[in-house]
Amino acid sequence: MSEEMQVPRAVIMCNHGDADSIMAALIMGAAASATGDQVLMFFQPGAAKMLVKGELEKLNGLPGLPDPMYLYDSIVTLDGRFILCELGLPNKGIKKEDLREEVEVRMAADFLLDAEGAQKFFSY
């Protein structure tokens, strides 16, 4: 496939596990997915806990914000990827089996290779 025919890629880095950072990342990821971008959501150790089953649900009901699971599911449905830096597991005491099914655990170098050529970058 020629470069001009490739699907545009958007990289969303999630560095912090606070509600504002997580919701901003999910909203931007869902918006980018909806506009046709291939979305790579990369979670650093500081945000790793939010990829554990049941954690995003705790953010539901924040005033004026959409359901985080709706955003997450929208990104997954539109072929977006959720990638957790492998350092997030030992750093935060998380077991791989505790993560959501769609989450990939990858080394930072692998992620950077996947992100090569991305046209949009966002960091929260």
In a domain, 18, yes or no: yes
- Residue 71, pLDDT > 70, answer yes
- Please report the pLDDT score of residue 95 as a whole number: 97
Contact 80, 41 (CB under 8 A): yes
In a domain, 53, yes or no: yes
Domain that holds residue 45: 3-115
Question: pLDDT tens digits for 6-51?
Answer: 889 999 999 999 999 999 999 999 999 999 999 999 999 999 999 9
In a domain, 59, yes or no: yes
With 0-12 CB in 10 A as exposed, 13-18 as middle and 19+ as buried, what is 14?
buried
What CATH number corresponds to the domain at position 98?
Answer: 3.40.1260.10
| Section 56-68 average pLDDT | 98
Contact 97, 118 (CB under 8 A): no
Question: pLDDT tens digits for 78-122?
Answer: 999 999 999 999 999 999 999 999 999 999 999 999 999 999 999
- Residue 1, pLDDT > 50, answer no
In a domain, 121, yes or no: no
In a domain, 7, yes or no: yes
- Please report the pLDDT score of residue 57 as a whole number: 98
In a domain, 101, yes or no: yes
Q: Which strands, in side-by-side order, build the sheet including 9-14?
A: 104-106, 81-85, 38-43, 9-14, 120-123
Q: What domain count does the chain have?
A: 1
In a domain, 123, yes or no: no
In a domain, 124, yes or no: no
Continuous segment of H or E residues that includes residue 26: helix 19-34
Question: pLDDT tens digits for 39-54?
Answer: 999 999 999 999 999 9
